[in-house]
Amino acid sequence: MAKPPLDAYPNPAYAWAVVGVLVLAALVAYIDRQVVAIVVDPMKADLGVNDAQIGWLYGVFAVFYAIAALPIAWLADHRSRKFIIAAGIFFWSLMTMACGLSRSFWHVLLARIGVGVGEATLSPAATSLVGDFFPRQRVPLALSVFQTGAIMGSGIAFIIGGYVLGLVQEAPPLTLPIFGELRPWQQTFVYVGAPGLLVALLFALLREPARRGGAQVSGGRLRDLAAFYRSNRTTLWLHHLGFLSLVLAGYAFVFWTVSYFVRVHGYEAAEASLIFGWIFLIAGPVGPVLVALLARRLSDRGAADANIVGGMAGGAAAILIILAIQFTPNAFWAFVLYVPAMAAINSPFGIAAGALPVITPPNLRAQVAAVYLFVTSLGMLLGPPITGAFNEYVFPEGEGVRYSLVTVSSIFGLLGLALLQLARKPYAQSLRAADRRDP
């Protein structure tokens, strides 16, 4: 397949502007996704649930996020990606607000399912869009920049969520018609979810790029997807499962961070959330960009496995720092170590997504991204509840959360690194095959 000349792509300034809007969309998505981690303790008190059940509020989100991504990705390879994303943003924002209008654990669970289905629109469609806005060699960096929106969104979720939670705890109760009085944790969901409705409108105004290669006429068929996975099975499954393990360890660590500072160091949830949020916001986006630049440098030197090596470097640093944090003598040093921790924990995932479009035919990019999303969503599904179960049944004492995080990070972090080490050679072979296919 002939590679389009550089001038056949949209104007680079406009392409990067679209990446900027995608960053904003990812930011909103992760604010709405992570806010549940801030209100764990007040929600537990009001709804009468335990840590393991609270963990499933993230887990059920992940299940439906993963399942919905597959048919949505097929649509993204065939239909307008900007309208798919705009509809998704609108829907998940409404569902975030619905979490705050819920009166029982089961109502919150159902609303979290809706958040998951809405957010499933973003990654597959964004991967396809970026692949058509940029030449192939620039896609990993563009997707790593896109990933910074998710990271900043997580940080801002803790900042805004902590601020809003602290504010509404001091304010008079909010009473709405039909729904009645809303508790502070419920108000937090409503206030955090509302701004996404405006972002959905902004996304609908973007220009859709022309599809590349065989995708101008139609997207890839399911049998084409299956054939691609068969011919690259070792590369893709080692890639997917390796990054899944790192995702699981990372989500477990981030989800239980506020509870860690509350239970181990005696902080108020709102205060811990604000401090952690600023660290996440400032340090988190640095990691994916540094790893993408590292991979680009290695690639320029002829390393065909550069994208995998970059992800491994970030994952190894994350494991070491997570373990160090659990044994710090006080909260000050824990927060100090959280700065490099947030850069390292987030660093593998931009390059993980960026490693796929460069080996994938253009008409299958959204669907391959969705399969990867489906697999790694198991990390969101299992990380928080596995750690919650360790808190509940293995380390039930007040400071048990630190030992739960040591256990989960060690087991799954090392497993991820081992799988990615095995992926290096087959990934290099797949990349060379893609170079021959799309010179």
Q: For the segment 209-243, what is each residue's pLDDT rounded down to a tens digit?
A: 887 754 444 456 778 888 999 999 999 999 999 99
> In whole angstroms, what is the distance from residue 239 CA to residue 85 CA?
26
Tokens 């996440």 -> residue: 280
pLDDT digits (tens, 9 = 90+) for 16-49: 999 999 989 988 898 888 788 777 777 888 888 8
Q: Comparing 373 with 250, which gets the higher pLDDT?
A: 250
pLDDT tens digit sequence for 346-367: 888 889 988 998 899 888 888 8
Per-residue pLDDT, 439: 56
Torsion of CA 275, 277, 280, 283, to 10 degrees: -50
Q: How far is CA 148 from CA 47, 155, 159, 344, in A?
A: 34, 10, 16, 13
Encode pLDDT of 303-345 as tens digits.
999 999 999 999 999 999 999 998 888 889 999 999 999 999 9
pLDDT value of residue 213: 58
Tell me the pLDDT of the chain averaged across its residues. 85
Residues ≥6 apart with Cβ < 8 Å to 221: none
pLDDT of residue 336: 93
CATH hierarchy code of domain 10-207+221-437? 1.20.1250.20
Q: For residue 208, what are the contacts with CB-CB under 8 A and spacing of at least 6?
A: 80, 81, 82
- Note the helical H segments in 326-390: 331-354, 365-389
Ordered by start, the domain boundaries in the chain are: 10-207+221-437
pTM of model > 0.95? no
Which are the contacts of 332, defined by CB distance < 8 A and separation ≥ 6?
none
* Residue 121 CB-half CA count within 13 A: 24
